Amino acid sequence: MTDTPTAVITGAGRGIGRAVALLLSRNGYRVVLTARNVDELTATADECPGAAHIVPGDLTEATTVDRLFDEAADVFSPPSVLVLNAGAASSAPLPAITDEDWAHQLDLNLTAPFRCLRRAVPAMRKAGHGRVVAIASMASKQGEPYIAAYTAAKHGLLGLVRAAAAELANTGVTVNAVCPGYVDTPMTDRSVANIADRTGMSLEKARGILAAKQPIGRLIDVEEVADAVMLCVGTGAITGQGINVDGGTVQS
């Protein structure tokens, strides 16, 4: 048996998830990585300096969540850290949001994190220690046009974090959210492309519009989000929080 702790990171194939996985690995965690894209997961695992195990799958399928936690326990140990990063955004005016679009946003951004949290909590409570960090969004705290489904799901995710933190406060398990603004990731690249397609402006100008939404005048780096995750992992005195990493967009 080893005392080396285990961390599960969802959406670990690229962007924020990859940055978090690498940082946790550098800090001595064995990491279990999940996402849909096997090649991206393999690339992340190969970059990790420590032990890494991949579990490809779609987290909107309940069986994937069970397989993820079963394999984590079998290969390493039940996770003491869970980073809920998997998610995706969609953009459409309210009348154009279909039932399918709405359901997908809730399934991926809210129900899948809930299922992962539900699986992780019993072992963490038994151990008397655990850290759960959800990658939420500034959309968890304020509304913007054309992202109603995403905003509703991310508001729900922050509510889940707060309720879970209150329930687990005296168990040694903390639950927090990190709420980034616009981050330099493939998801933001898709948002930039959507803006360019709708407006006819150049990709460069569309990217500049998103960067300008933040007072620091630039997109957030994935490493800056990962640093905030590690802050939550490193202390038991922070719980129930939605930590803004948004360049000063929302002051709270």
- Catalytic one among 29, 146, 150, 182? 150
Report whether 54 contacts 41 (CB < 8 A).
Answer: yes
Query: Whole-angstrom Cα distance, residue 222 to residue 54?
Result: 21
Taken in order 227, 228, 233, 234, is the CA torsion positive or negative?
positive
Beta carbons within 8 Å of 167's beta carbon, 6+ residues apart: none
Report whether 221 contacts 183 (CB < 8 A).
Answer: yes
Query: Whole-angstrom Cα distance, residue 148 to residue 203?
Result: 23
Q: With residue 175 as reference, give the H or E element that holds it.
A: strand 173-180
**Residue 146 bears catalytic tag:** no
Q: Six-digit token pair at 160?
A: 């889940």
DSSP 48: -
Which residues are the active-site residues? 150
